[in-house]
Amino acid sequence: MEHTIKEEIAKNLLYFRKKRGMTQRELANRLGVKHNSISSWENAVNSVDVDILFQICRILGVTIHDMYGNYAICSEVDYTPQERVLIQEFRSQPAMQEAVLRVLQVRENLAAQEYE
């Protein structure tokens, strides 16, 4: 059985909040809402207001596409499941991002040299 959009967002909100090691109360405090609001969103009792959803995405370091999950429409690129995992891991590891960017820059420099 396929989830509704509300259920998909609820599932992803719970997943990303726990992945960040954040409690419902901590997220609620950052958003300025009651902690039981988070519970009602994660249990798909209520829908998250789109403005609040954008704030949640910023706090959790994910995109709106991540929250919409299976319902997200990616107009530019259709990522494979493995690519999505890599992107999520990249975003969740700020300390490693610089190292990854340096490696990618090296590859760009090597590729540019081959064409000179």
The DSSP line for 26-53 is: HHHHHHTS-HHHHHHHHTTSSPPPHHHH
Q: What is the pLDDT of residue 75?
A: 44
Number of structural domains found in the chain = 2
Query: Are residues 64 and 36 part of one domain?
Result: yes
Q: Which candidate, 61, 65, 91, 67, places its Cα nearest to that of 77?
A: 65
- Residue 103's domain comprises 79-116
Same domain for 4 and 61?
yes
Q: State whether 110 and 57 are in the same domain.
A: no
User: 34 with 71, same domain?
Assistant: yes
- What pLDDT was estimated at residue 69? 78
What is the per-residue pLDDT across 42-55, written as a single tens digit (0 to 9) for each? Answer: 999 999 999 999 99
Are 32 and 50 contained in the same domain? yes
- Residue (of 2, 77, 31, 1) closest to 13 by Cα position: 31
pLDDT at 70: 65
List the chain residues with pLDDT less than 50.
74-76
Is there a single domain that holds both residue 67 and residue 84?
no
